[in-house]
Amino acid sequence: MSEELPKPISKELVITSADKEIQIALLEDKKLVEIHKEKSIDQFAVGDIYLGVVKKINSSGMNAAFVNIGSERDAFLHYLDLGIHARTMNEFVNQVITSNKKSISNFPYQPEIPKVGKINEVLTTGQKILVQVAKEPISTKGATVTTEISLAGRYLVLVPFMDKVTVSQKIKSSAERRRLKNLVQAIRPKKCGIIIRTVANGKNLDEITKDLNQLVEKWKLIIEKLPIVTYPAKVAAELDIATSLIRDMVNDSFEAIHVDNPIIYQEIKQYLSSISTNYASILKLYKNPKPLFETMNIAKQIKGSFGKIVTIKNGIYLVIEHTEAMHVIDVNSGNRNKSGKDQEENATAVNLEAAAEIARQLRLRDMGGIITIDFIDMKKPTNRNLLYQTLVQLMKNDKAKHTILPVNKFGLIQITRQRVRQATIIDTSENCPSCNGTGKVKASILIEEEIQNMIEYLIEKQVEKSFSITVHPMVYAYLTKGLFSKRVKWSLKYKQWIRIHPKQSHHLLELKFFNKDKEQIIFWTKPNSEE
């Protein structure tokens, strides 16, 4: 009997927009594995390209330069992040600015910089320099930048002055690697390197050529901006998080992309159509008044996944602590019912279950740097190796670069994971909405009167024709209970249907009013006060 193939993972992308913030959730088999947030005012994102100015050079100790890119703190540029063609790029940028040079195809290469050298031999204070953000500002540190510019497309990455073609190591077939390399080599622009991405596997010449042409046009636009911008200035922006996630992740395993904002929906639809007509069909516009994250059970998963203590099943739980230097995870069996023959077997079973949740938590919280995991002690080397191999397998889907060390004699596993942005930390604890910790609250029975006063104010004073109210699910149940509920009575009284929606993220007595454009209504004057 043939071995049964593993069931493919069902993936969904859920995108919601509210309060000038976009939230993107990635679901695998309906389980939340990644959450991203983006504000419209976000700057200095990974991939953004800036024309900056070298402010300070430290060649003796750090062997690095500090570059003004317009941020509060100067960006950090280490010698190892210059790239071997740094002199060529710097000279080209200088000529573009001074003499309006347009193309790199006939630009002569400058001497390569040595692997071991001093940064003051390459850069000078006050020099204008083209840099790309490699790591976003984190805590008190400024952004980390590189002069090795790369422009990412769906199938290819264009690297000016690299002058070679490389193929993603995740493409295992030697025949396919050879085919792609020969194909790209034939269409590669002069003095531009190409990195072939994993998703290029199996793609034809037309698809790859189209992607390459878009990257070449983006590079041309950057060159055209350099002579006219006032430095420091952003000359090219990475795609917004939603589009970049779609570019890097969407494949045939995705079942749906849910969006609740019509503008974002049209932008994504246009981008998907440019990739493939097949992908445009999985995009769905959500129109239900109930929040999208609540419909997809994401709000509840966030509440249960981002606390200090994360429960798994069978009584097992994790304790997760975040510090400036590292992240620490402690595995506890709790009140798990022992089903194994002995302590060793039970400890192994608990550790294996915890490993699956830990792999998910690393992606979900985007924890980077050093992560130390304290598993339950196991004495047998075979069990330790089983745990290690299981964790390695579970983290194969993690796109962030990472290294996992085997279990040491103290029962610890250490992981280093690529850190490009601040770890996602969501406070799931709830303070009293009325007292803010004082211990005294207004009487909950007055919530009904408060809502009615606000409704009356909106209808009679502000003449709002259409508005909605979001409340805690328990309050919603109270207001809508029965045939002649409070909502029905208010609707009859004011001759207007009162739209009330439950929202799980609300505190018990929290209220929010929204107009027909889904913009929150702020009561600058007390609804029950006299004019």
CATH code of the domain covering residue 195: 2.40.50.140
Residues 232 and 245 in one domain: no
Residues 111 and 259 in one domain: no
Q: What is the CATH number of the domain that holds 261?
A: 3.30.420
Residue 204 located in a structural domain: yes
Residues 316 and 451 in one domain: no
Residues 108 and 220 in one domain: yes
* Predicted confidence pLDDT, tens digits, the chain (531 residues): 444 445 667 888 898 887 667 888 888 888 888 888 776 555 677 888 999 999 999 877 889 999 999 888 899 999 999 989 999 999 999 998 888 777 888 888 899 999 888 999 999 999 999 999 988 887 778 889 999 999 988 889 999 988 889 999 888 899 999 999 999 999 999 889 999 998 888 888 988 998 899 899 999 999 988 888 887 888 887 776 677 777 777 777 788 889 988 888 888 888 887 776 677 788 899 988 888 888 888 888 887 777 788 888 777 889 999 887 789 999 988 766 555 567 888 889 899 999 999 999 988 888 888 999 999 988 889 999 999 999 999 988 888 888 999 988 788 999 999 876 666 665 555 555 555 555 555 556 678 888 888 888 888 888 788 899 999 888 999 999 988 898 999 999 888 899 999 988 788 888 889 888 788 887 654 455 444
Residues 192 and 289 in one domain: no
Residue 200 located in a structural domain: yes
Residues 144 and 249 in one domain: no
Residue 158 located in a structural domain: yes
Residues 120 and 245 in one domain: no
Eight-class DSSP state of 46 = T
Angle between helices 486-494 and 447-456 (to 10 degrees): 20
Residues 126 and 263 in one domain: no
Number of domains observed in the structure of the chain: 4
Structural domain for 463, as ranges: 444-515
Domain end residue (candidates: 236, 253, 280): 236
Residues 107 and 207 in one domain: yes
E-assigned strand segments in 305-445: 309-311, 317-322, 326-332, 369-374, 402-404, 412-417
Q: What is the CATH number of the domain that holds 473?
A: 3.30.2320
Residue 436, SS3 per DSSP: coil
Residues 138 and 97 in one domain: yes
- What is the CA angle 387-329-34, rounded to 5? 85
Residue 413 located in a structural domain: yes
Residues 245 and 220 in one domain: no
For 238, residues 6+ apart whose C-beta sits below 8 A from its C-beta are 45, 46, 47, 48, 152, 244
Residue 172 located in a structural domain: yes
Residue 425 located in a structural domain: no
Does residue 503 contact residue 289 with C-beta atoms inside 8 Å?
no
Residues 100 and 124 in one domain: yes
Domain end residue (candidates: 249, 269, 300): 300
Residue 3 located in a structural domain: no
